[in-house]
Every structure is written in C-alpha cells, then in structure tokens.
Structure 1
Amino acid sequence: MKLFVPHDERRPHPEPAPTNDALAFGAGLILWLLALVIVLGMTALGAMPSSPTVLGTIAVGLVLGALGLAVSRRRPR
C-alpha cells in the first residue's frame, strides 16, 4: 500500500453527478410549510403552548430554503 502517490500517477477526479437542486429546495420548503401549518393548528387547538423557539426555527428554515431556491435557479447550468 502506497501512502503517497505522485501527482502524475494519480487518476483524474470524476465529473460531479448532475443534481436538481431546485427540486430539493422546493421539497424542503413544502415540508417547512407543512410543519408551520401543523404547529399553528396545534397551537390554535391548545394542544401545544405557543413557543417562539419552534416558530423561529420554522421561519429560519423557510428563509434559508427560499434563499437556496433563489440561488439554485440563478446559477448557470
């Protein structure tokens, strides 16, 4: 087993796999919106006390997902 392989003997890096980032961010946003609806519904029914931490976490998830979706759509293919 070699611990050091000279640069000229190394194999080239493989090409990155194509991904659909917009689809992944969109699915994440839908799940965050679903979480928001569930939390607000449970709070309205009194099954869960109003927690700013939970709503803050959902808000951060929605903002980061929207930013990720915007960046992934602007990026050249």
Structure 2
Amino acid sequence: MEKWTPRHEAPEPLEGPVVATVTGGTILWFVLFLAQLPFYGWFDDHGHTWWIWTCLAGAGLGLIGIWYVRGRDAAIKRAAAGGTAPDGSVPDAGVRH
C-alpha cells in the first residue's frame, strides 16, 4: 500500500469565470435546440427526436446552473469581504456591544 500514498499536497482548486462558462454553455444548448427545431420532421422520421429534447433539457438545466453559480459567486464574495463566515453564519449575529 506504500506506493499509493501521496507524496505531496494536493493543489488548490482552480477558480475561473464559472458564471460566464455556465452561461455560455446554456446559450450553446439553446442555440443547438433552435438550430434543430426546423428539422423536427426529419428527426421524427428517423427516431431521433430525443436529440432536440436533450438540447432543450440542457438549456433548462443550464438556467438552474446559472442561478446556482451566481449565488455561489455572490456568497464567495460576501465571505471574502467579511459579510459572513465561510460556513454561512453571520459573525456576531445578535450580539450587542
């Protein structure tokens, strides 16, 4: 088991433009849905209508993803500014000085 023991610390996770990435993916799914919609008859004749509905589902789930990552990004910024603790609680809540 010795050979499976890590010899160095794991790197920090990379943070990037998460909101822009999810928004771009959502737009791409919706554009693919719109691009395939005029060919619905062909997809239906060949039993591939699930391609169209997969694109629509991707766009719908992407909207949920945009809502989620915007909230996550706002929470990270609040925590960095000292508005809340990393666990989500408000520091000194209800304590009067």
Q: TM-score range by the shorter chain?
A: 0.5 to 0.7
2:94 corresponds to which residue? Answer: none
The answer to whether residue 17 in structure 2 is matched with residue 3 in structure 1 is no
The answer to whether residue 16 in structure 2 is matched with residue 19 in structure 1 is yes
Distance 2:16 2:25 in 1: 15
The answer to whether residue 19 in structure 2 is matched with residue 30 in structure 1 is no
1:54 corresponds to which residue? Answer: 51
Question: What SS is found at the alignment partner of 1:19?
Answer: coil
Distance 2:26 2:4 in 1: 45
Question: What SS is found at the alignment partner of 1:13?
Answer: coil
Structure 2 spans left out of the alignment, 5+ residues = 77-97
Post-superposition offset of 1:71: 0.8
Amino acid at match of 1:56: W
Distance 1:34 1:4 in 2: 45
Distance 1:21 1:4 in 2: 32
Identical aligned residues as a percent: 24
Structure 1's 4 and 36: CA in aligned 2 closer, same or farther, altered over 3 A?
closer
Structure 1 spans left out of the alignment, 5+ residues = none
User: TM-score when scaled to structure 1?
Assistant: 0.67
Distance 2:3 2:63 in 1: 44
What CA RMSD, in Å, does the superposition of the two structures yield over aligned residues?
2.4
Moved over 3 A (4+): 49-52
